Amino acid sequence: MSVAYGRISPWATARVLVQLAWARTFSVTLVAGVIGLLLLPVLFALAFASRGSLSGDPVAFLVQRYDTLVCGLAMPLIALLMGTSAFSAETEDGTLLYLVTTTTPRWWIACVRVMYASIVTGLLSAFAVWSTGAIAADGSNPEHVTTAFTVAVLFGGATYAALFTALALLTRRALVAGLVYVLFWEGALSRTFPALHYLSVRQWTLAVASALTESSEKALQDGPSLAASLIGAAVLVVLSVYVGGRRLQRPHMQR
Amino acid sequence: MSDVRKIEATVPLAFDRASHWYGDVVAVNDVTCAIEAGITGLLGPNGAGKSTMLQMAAGLLAPSSGTVRAYGESPLANPSIFRKVALVPEREALPSMLSARAFVEARAVLLGLRDPKLAALRALTTVEMDTVADRKVGGFSKGMRQRTKLAAALVHEPTLLLLDEPFNGLDPRQRLHMMRLLEDRARDGTAVLLSSHILEEIEGVASRILVMLSGRLAASGDHRTLRRMMTDRPHTVRIRSTNDRALASALLSSPTVMGVDVEADALLVRTADYTGFAHQVGAVAQQASITLLEVQPTDESLEHVFAYLVAR
């Protein structure tokens, strides 16, 4: 008896790869952590809104919270969790073998995992941006700042997700490496040495937001140009899928 | 295609002076062999290089030197080879939140099968897991996991099946069932390469056995040849009795005994004919009015047997 082969279906394989990723990602701890990260800017917005006319300029408030709490914390950490959890767990327990001993192209496996992490990160971050803006600006969109950051986090989420998904295949300590990048490289070094802005996903995200809003808040003026940010992100995403696909040719699994 | 390439393409798996090392540790050392249709056992103690051989065969590890070819092609970075090849890993882990059916179907989709549901059902039925197919694998016993892994490997009916310690965790009935299943596959022309560190596990099922030790191919042949090599080798037996010295003297006159060492509280007897010695030792002791307190073979571990085979 022999089985009949069809063409590898991109959608069917994507569904399966996402299903397997979700099975490895989902946990009560992860959901609690993500909710906590998303609630942080919302709580600030509630405090801001509760002060009514005493609370000051909503644009300045929103730019600052979006910069520090969404772009600087929630978005990269959600991307880190979504990007690393599936591949890291599969590498650790050896179940990655069930993906790489199939006829599905390796680059497609990496690509789907990047898309999965990008979409989840982007949508969750956009939700945090939108709900914070809606509460703090009372439903309005002053200087298009909420719209600008919604687009920016979709862009930044995809870039972070690509970086961390590839990282999960490159090192067994992807979570630590990702935290070092977010907290040390972007949080400390990049602030001290402006030249490093060109190698910061957070700054690329702010550059996109800056291009879409009329606000002239300082946080939006320091970063690299929009063109440099878009090119940097595109290179990073393509490189991550390429490196991830290459790595899946010969994965390092725990023995 | 040249004649040589045509012949190569019909050989399921061929190692040609293949070696693999992890840093300074040589895991597989200069192995040359070909795996044909039928069941081949890869026998060796833990750390002998069996898993590394299987991973090289599946293209998950590159040989540090030499070549590995599956159906004439390098399995490295060659996903299409998995239309013909499947690997059942030693590790038990499976995605615990999925049911056995969902897991095997996922494999069928990733392998590009036209009807993944039917293929999964067939594979699960083959390994007798169809009745529990909708239970999550997280709650499975070791044996059930082993069979689910086998179903995931059989879902596309590969013609080269690589199994790493497949009998681990199976009860005797399940073991027998798996042996029959593998035999059926082999009869249908599948090349099966299975590893084990227990000779009894594979001698009943494998028509050919490759013995690995410290990364080297120490011996190969059918199980009768290997059994003979193992039985005919010198054995050492430790004996405690009521009078060790008198027993040593009596045993030296026996034709089955090659030599005797007297230790503080026991004798170490070397014999080339283990069965003959076992039959005679009681009679010799009785004749000399000596009571045997303990008769214990000292070198029956697989490592001893392998060491002997390598030293030959």
Whether residues B194 and B59 share a domain: the answer is yes
Query: Which residues from B are below 8 Å from A12, CB to CB?
Result: 109, 116
The verdict on B82 and B131 lying in the same domain is yes
- Contact in structure between A129 and A83 (CB atoms under 8 Å): no
- A3 and B113 in contact by Cβ < 8 A? yes
- Report d(CA B126, CA B120) in Å as an integer: 10
Give the model's pLDDT for residue B301.
53
Q: Do the chains contact at A98 and B119, CB–CB below 8 Å? A: no
Has residue A184 got a pLDDT over 90?
yes
Chain A residues with CB within 8 Å of chain B CB: 1-9, 12-13, 15-17, 19-20, 23-24, 26, 93-95, 97-106, 249-251, 253, 255
- Distance from C-alpha of B146 to C-alpha of B196, rounded to nearest angstrom: 14
What residues in A contact B77, CB-CB < 8 Å? 106, 249-250
- Residues paired with residue B208 on neighbouring β-strands, in sequence order: B40
Residues B23, B26, B31, B37: is their CA dihedral positive or negative?
negative
Identify the DSSP state of B11.
-
Which residues, 6 or more positions from A193, have their beta carbon under 8 angstroms from its beta carbon?
none
**Contact yes or no for A6 and B77 at CB 8 A:** no
Arithmetic mean of pLDDT, A23-46: 92
Which segment, A55-59, A213-217, B121-125, is predicted with the most confidence on average?
A: B121-125
Note the pLDDT of residue B3. 65
Question: Which residue in B85, B97, B115 is closest to A4 by CB distance?
Answer: B115
Residues B59 and B200 in one domain: yes
Joined tokens for residue B204: 């009943």
Q: In what order do the strands lie in the sheet with B235-241?
A: B257-262, B267-271, B235-241, B292-297
Alpha-carbon distance of A132 to A148, in angstroms, equals 13
The number of CA neighbours under 13 Å toward the Cβ of B230 is 23
Domain interval for residue B281: 233-311
Instruction: Considering only the beta carbons, identify the residue of B93, B98, B107 that sits closest to A102.
Output: B107
DSSP A237: H
DSSP label at residue A183: I
Write the residue in B83, B103, B106 that is nearest to A5 by C-beta: B83
Helices (H), chain A: 10-25, 28-50, 58-65, 75-93, 97-100, 106-136, 145-170, 174-179, 190-192, 201-212, 226-249
| CA–CA gap between residue B117 and residue B106 (Å, rounded) | 9
Last residue of a domain, one of B176, B197, B229: B229
List, run by run, the mean pLDDT of 10-residue segments along chain B (312 residues). 68 95 91 94 90 94 95 92 94 90 96 94 94 94 92 96 90 87 93 88 86 88 72 78 90 86 88 80 89 78 59 58
Can you give the pLDDT at residue B308?
Answer: 63
Between residues A252 and A150, the one the model is more confident about: A150
Clarify whether residues B62 and B40 are in a common domain.
Answer: yes
Are B109 and A5 within 8 A, CB to CB?
no
Distance CA B165, CA A242 (A): 34
Instruction: Tell me if chain A has a CB within 8 Å of the CB of B126.
Output: no
State residue B227's pLDDT score.
66
Answer yes or no: are the C-beta atoms of B89 and B60 closer than 8 Å: no
Residues from chain A that touch B109, judged by Cβ atoms under 8 A, are: 9, 12-13, 15-16
Cβ within 8 Å, pair B58-A26: no
Query: Are residues B42 and B58 part of one domain?
Result: yes
Whether residues B174 and B224 fall in one domain: yes
Question: Tokens in use for A251?
Answer: 């994965």
State the average pLDDT for chain A. Answer: 91
pTM above 0.90, yes or no: no
The rounded distance, in Å, linking the Cα atoms of B304 and B200 is: 16
Candidate from B86, B96, B113 with C-beta closest to A6: B113
User: If you average pLDDT over each of A3-12, A34-43, B194-203, which comes out highest?
Assistant: A34-43
**C-beta separation of B267 from B290 below 8 A:** no
Instruction: Residue A151: name the closest of A135, A129, A133 by CA.
Output: A129
Tell whether B241 and B185 lie within a shared domain. no
Mapped to the 3 state alphabet, what secondary structure does A18-76 carry? HHHHHHHHCCHHHHHHHHHHHHHHHHHHHHHHHCHHHHCCHHHHHHHHHHHHHHHHHHH
- For chain A, what are the domain ranges? 10-249
CA torsion sign for A53, A56, A61, A62 is positive
Interface A:B, Cβ pairs < 8 A: 100
Q: Which residue has the tokens 């030249």?
A: A195
Give residue B22's identity as a one-letter amino acid code: Y
A142 by Cβ neighbours in 10 Å (0-12 / 13-18 / 19+) ranks as middle
d(CA B95, CA B20): 30
CA B95-A245-A205 angle, 5° bins: 95
Sheet holding B216-221, edge to edge: B85-88, B160-164, B191-196, B38-43, B208-213, B216-221
**What pLDDT does residue B300 have?**
54
For chain B, what is the domain count? 2
Q: Six-digit token pair at A252?
A: 């390092």
Of B99, B131, B134, B103, nearest to B119 by C-alpha is: B103
Give the nearest partner residue to A103 out of B96, B98, B112, using CB atoms.
B112
Contact of A13 with A112, CB cutoff 8 Å: yes
Q: Do A4 and B79 touch (CB under 8 A)?
A: no
Q: How confident is the model over A157-168, as pLDDT tens digits? A: 999 999 999 999
- At B74, is the secondary structure helix, strand, or coil? coil
Task: For residue A106, give the nearest of B79, B85, B152 by CB distance.
Answer: B79
Helices (runs of H) and strands (runs of E) counted in chain B: 11, 13
Query: Among residues B178, B210, B229, which one ends one of the domains?
Result: B229
Domain boundary among B182, B200, B229: B229
Higher pLDDT, A130 or A139: A130
Residue A180 tokens read as: 């070092």
Cross-strand pairs, B260: B269
Residue B282: CATH number of its domain: 3.30.70.100
Q: What are A97-114's pLDDT values in tens digits? A: 999 999 999 999 999 999
Which CATH number is B77's domain given? 3.40.50.300
A255 contacts B113? CB cut-off 8 A: no
The residue of chain A nearest to residue B150, with distances taken between CA atoms, is: A98
Residue from the list A8, A9, A98 with its beta carbon closest to the beta carbon of B107: A98
Task: Give the model's pLDDT for residue B228.
Answer: 67
According to DSSP, the residues that pair with B307 across neighbouring strands are none
Any A CB within 8 A of B99 CB: no
| B218/B147 same-domain check | yes
Q: What is the pLDDT of residue B157?
A: 94
> What span, in angstroms and rounded, lies between the C-alpha atoms of A161 and A183?
16
Overall residue count recorded for chain B in this entry: 312
Compute the nearest-CA separation of B89 from chain A (Å). Answer: 8
DSSP letter at B299 equals: -
